[in-house]
Amino acid sequence: MDVSHLFNPNLDKIQISAIRRFDQEVSKIPGILKLTLGEPDFNTPQYVEDAAVAAVRAHESHYTGMSGLLALRQAASQFVSDKYGVTFDPESEVLVTVGATEAISASLMSILVAGDKVLTPAPLYPGYEPLIQLAGAEMVEIDTTKNGFVLTPEMLESALIAHPETKVVILNYPSNPTGVTYNRAEIKALSDVIKKYPVFVISDEIYSELTYTDEKHVSIAEFAREQTIVLNGLSKSHAMTGYRIGFIFADTSLTSQIIKTHQYFVTAATTVSQFAAIEALTNGKDDAAIMTKEYIIRRDYIMSQMTPLGFEIAKPDGAFYIFAKIPADLNQDDFAFLIDFANRKQVAFIPGSSFGQYGKGYIRLSYAASMPVIREAMTRLTAFVNEKRA
C-alpha cells in the first residue's frame, strides 16, 4: 500500500537545508577546506565537560521538569540580567529548550496558523522558513541588501502596513549570515514601530555573546517586553553545539502558551546537558571573550584579503560570518561560482542564495575555522580570482 501521499502537504514546500546539501556535496572533494558551517572550532571548556561527566556519574539520567532545571533557569536568568540588563523570572519566564532550534520551532508552532505572515529582514538564517511553511503560513523577506543589511524602522513599518496578516517579526542579531547587529538607539527605534502593531517579535539572539563593537549587546526585550520572545542558547557562546541547550525568555503570558508545544515536542531538554549548562553560565560568564578576540583577528584578516579582490563586504560586528558580494566581473551565480571554486581549489564556502532570495550573488564564509585554514583558503581564493581574470 502506497502511503507516501498521506504526508502533510505543507512538507512538499520544505527542502533539506541548502547549507547541509551544499556541505555534503563539497565534502566529497578530497582534501577540501571547509569554511561552511556555523559551528565554533573551539572545544567546549573542560570544566563544562567535567560537569557533564559528574552528572552522568551522579546518575542524573531522569527527566527534568518540562521547563528545565530550576538551577539552570536561575543561572540563565542571572546571565542575561548581568550581561544585557533584562530580567526574567526563572520560575515562570524562562524555558530550557533543545538548542535555539527547538526554541524557534516551539515559538512558531505555538503562534502560526495557515494564512499568517512572518516578516523578517533578509538575507536571513534558513532555519525559520520551513517551520513557517509547515504551519501553512508565509514568510515575507524584507530586502536589506541596499542598506548594508540593516533593517530600518521605516522598512519595518512599510512591511507591516503592506502585510496586515503579519503575526510575527523575526529579528536575528548579530545576524547569520551577515554579521550585522544593532546598537541601543537602533533597537529602540525598531521597538517603537513594533509597539504600534499587534505582533510578536521573535528575537533570535544566539550570537549575543559574539559582538565586536564597544557597545554590548542590547536585547529588544528591554523595550518591547510584552511582545518579545527572546531566543538564546549555549551553542555559540560556549562552543556547545552538540549539548543542544537553548532558552526562551518571555513574559509568563507567552511562556505559559509556548510550554505546551515545547512539552509535546521534547518533554524537556537533556538532563546531563542541563547540568553542564549550569556550569557554563555560572563559571563561564566570560568564556566568549576569549573566542571573540580570536574571531576579530580572523574577520579583519579575511576582509583585508577579500576587499582588494573586489568583494563587497558590510563590516560584520558580530557572529562569525563574512557575507560578501561576488565582484561584478565574475560569475554572479553564487552556486556555480562556489562549485567551480571547490572543484578547482578545494575550498568550500556557502552560496548566498541559501539565505533567501536576496542572498543571490553573495557568498558566506564562516570564520569558525582555524587561522591556518583561513590563510590557506584566502591564498586559494586569490589565485582562483586572479586566474579567472587572467
Integer Cα distance of 234 and 246 in angstroms: 6
Distance of CA 21 to the CA centre of its chain: 18
Asked if residue 17 binds ligand PLP (CB under 6 A), the reply is: no
- Residue found under cell 567546549: 44
Integer Cα distance of 80 and 310 in angstroms: 40
Nearer to ligand PLP among residue 362 and residue 384 (C-beta): 362
Asked if residue 356 binds ligand PLP (CB under 6 A), the reply is: no
H-run or E-run covering 324: strand 321-325
x-or-dash string of contact with ligand PLP, 211-240, rule CB under 6 A: ----------------------x-x-----
Integer Cα distance of 15 and 333 in angstroms: 20
x-or-dash string of contact with ligand PLP, 168-197, rule CB under 6 A: ----x---x---------------------
What residue is closest to ligand PLP based on CB? 99
Asked if residue 90 binds ligand PLP (CB under 6 A), the reply is: no
Tell me, by CB under 6 A, how many residues bind ligand PLP. Answer: 14
Integer Cα distance of 374 and 322 in angstroms: 12
Instruction: State in angstroms the smallest separation of the CB of 213 from ligand PLP.
Output: 18
Cα–Cα distance list, 277 to 77, 207, 273, 305, 332 (Å) = 13, 17, 6, 37, 43
10-18, 95-103, 144-152, 360-368 -> range binding ligand PLP (CB under 6 A): 95-103
DSSP conformational letter for 17: -
Nearer to ligand PLP among residue 105 and residue 191 (C-beta): 105
Asked if residue 127 binds ligand PLP (CB under 6 A), the reply is: yes
| CB burial of residue 2 (10 Å; 0-12, 13-18, 19+) | exposed
Of 206, 220, 288, 365, the residue at the interface with ligand PLP (CB under 6 A) is 206
| 3-state helix vs strand vs coil in the chain, percent to 5 | 50, 15, 35
List interacting residues with ligand PLP (CB under 6 A). Answer: 38, 99-101, 125, 127, 172, 176, 204, 206, 233, 235, 241, 246
